[in-house]
Amino acid sequence: MRFRPDLGWSDVTPRADFLNRRQLIGGAAMLGMGGLGLPAAALDAVESKYSTNAEPNTLEEITGYCNFYEFGTDKGDPARHAGQMTTDPWSVEIGGLVEKPGRYDLADVLKGQSLEERIYRLRCVEAWSMVVPWIGFQLSGLLERVGVQPSAKYVAFETLYRPEEMPGTRRPVIPWPYVEGLRLDEAMNPLTILATGLYGEELPAPNGAPIRLVVPWKYGFKSIKSVVKITLTEDQPPATWNMVNPREYGFYSNVNPEVDHPRWSQAEERRVGGGFFAAKIPTQKFNGYGQYVASLYDGMDLSRQF
Ligand SMILES: Nc1nc2c(c(=O)[nH]1)N[C@H]1C(S)=C(S)[C@@H](COP(=O)(O)O)O[C@H]1N2
Ligand SMILES: [Mo]
């Protein structure tokens, strides 16, 4: 399915059908109830303990105000152009220090993973934020399934690079393909998900269809979109913005109001949709997820290892 900015997802996909054909065929265990015949309201009934109570942004805001440089640098470019991206068929190459390397079809990636709704805050390094009701599953589930070798210490991710379908990649704005990385313990943290949906529907193209990483305690650029490759490594993998400007964008890039970007303060953020004159809200350390992740960084000086 291609993203149509003129339609809401509920217009194009019956809600009860949001686990699309190929996901159903893949046999993803939907909230432990099995996929087929899922009542429309079932998803709403399940509260993840990791979800925020904050009001989610609208679908229009989430799909219309995006960073996805493969389609241009304007916030509206992804909504205009990401629909060109072929997202079916889709496969993810999983390799490096794993027991079962291979090219996994999307349905196979989802096999055995339980999808759930996670309503997360998303804090962009540019000092705006949103609240997004993702549908996804824990990355740890996939890594356990493919078997992580003992020597693995990091997980590297890569986005699709297909210039014919990605007008933004025809200029060297940033190095292509977009790459990112996490330390293995960050990747295994229960907050870290691979998202395949949003608002109970398939993931819209501007947000990284058909599968993207979401790491809610880090600046948004760590949450790499449209993932085609996952590699377990011994050494810290390259990360796009860190390569472009290591002084401004650290490998860790945990949300931290105490460490300013060299060119602006990170103490506050503007919630998208509040209007330009809306009061800024204070940025929380680890984007408010410290109770789950602060211990990952015990003994680290987060102002130096940012
Ligand atoms: N491949 C790829 N992934 C990406 C980006 C990008 O340009 N290309 N932008 C990042 C940035 S800066 C942010 S803030 C989030 C935005 O996600 P959203 O548009 O779904 O809100 O995606 C991240 N993932
Ligand atoms: Mo961002």
Give residue 190's pLDDT.
98
62 has binding-site annotation: no
Could you identify the residue written with the tokens 């027991």?
99
User: 236 CA to middle of ligand 2, Å?
Assistant: 21
Nearest ligand, CA of residue 272?
A: 1
Nearest to 116 by CA among 186, 47, 58: 47
207 has binding-site annotation: yes
69 close to ligand 1 (CB < 6 Angstrom) = yes
- Classify domain 50-297 at the CATH superfamily level: Oxidoreductase, molybdopterin-binding domain (3.90.420.10)
Q: Which residue minimizes the CA distance to atom 15 of ligand 1?
A: 220
Give residue 38's pLDDT.
39
Neighbours of ion ligand 2 (CB under 5 A): 67, 124, 220-221
159 close to ligand 1 (CB < 6 Angstrom) = yes
Give residue 1's pLDDT.
38
Q: Where are the domains of the chain?
A: 1-47, 50-297
Give residue 13's pLDDT.
38
223 close to ligand 1 (CB < 6 Angstrom) = yes
Give residue 46's pLDDT.
57
- Beta partners for 153? none
Task: Give dist(CA 2, CA 195) in Å, integer.
Answer: 17
- Split the chain (306 residues) into runs of 10 and give each run's mean pLDDT: 41 39 38 38 62 97 98 98 98 98 98 97 98 98 98 99 98 97 98 98 98 98 99 98 97 97 97 89 98 98 92
DSSP 32-81: TS-STT--TTHHHHPPPTT---SPPPPHHHHHHS---GGG-SSTTHHHHH
66 has binding-site annotation: no
User: 258 CA to middle of ligand 1, Å?
Assistant: 23
Task: Give dist(CA 93, CA 37) in Å, integer.
Answer: 31
